[in-house]
Amino acid sequence: MADAVAADLLRRVRLIVFDFDGVFTDNAVWVLEDGRELVRCTRMDGIGLDRLRALGIHLAIVSTEVNPVVSARARKLKLRCIQACDDKAAAVRGLAEELGVSLGETAFVGNDVNDLPALTLVGLPVVVADAHEDVHPVARWRTRRPGGHGAVREICDTVARAHEERAALRETA
């Protein structure tokens, strides 16, 4: 579906805010006997995020839960992380204002109904391939890859290519 997203919309993105569970993960959780949780993420996301960061695109995670797994992964990926967030739309709005980015230049990546307010707020609402069916209608882009299996990298690479193409066009003009 990225092909259907206008290149100019991708080129305008200056901030991408990601949900964590179901986007960086496959939404599954292993619970150990002592209550600690384990999730699976893919290492390929890090390279894509670095590529966007090098292009000056702001990146953040917004999560409803407080979870040390989310904190650790955000630290490793050098992502700003807002947890215990009951109002993701307000968090996205606050990040955009703080960074001087318009909501039209903001993308939100989600996978479930609790992401709807943030998805409907931004210029580029994105859902992962295996997102809950109720969020599909608001998405401008549904990834080919599911959450936790390359969806984040797909988004990063697609947005980065659009920005790099814009830079190449400027150089030849």
Q: For position 114, which CATH number holds?
A: 3.40.50.1000
Which amino acid, one-letter code, is at 11? R
Compute the radius of gyration of the chain from its Cα atoms: 15
User: Which is more confident, 155 or 170?
Assistant: 155
Domain count, the chain: 1
pLDDT at residue number 167: 65
Tell me how many helices (H) and strands (E) the chain has.
6, 8
- Rounded alpha-carbon distances, angstroms, from residue 72 to 5, 58, 109, 117: 32, 19, 20, 26
pLDDT greater than 60 at residue 173: no
Give the structural domain span for 146.
Answer: 2-172
- Rounded alpha-carbon distances, angstroms, from residue 123 to 11, 34, 93, 114, 115: 12, 42, 12, 18, 14
State the CB neighbour count (10 A cutoff) for residue 97.
Answer: 11
pLDDT greater than 70 at residue 171: no
pLDDT at residue number 8: 84
pLDDT tens digits for 59-109? 999 999 999 999 999 999 999 999 999 999 999 999 999 999 999 999 999
Beta bridge partners of 109: 18, 126
For 136, the token pair is 């599909």
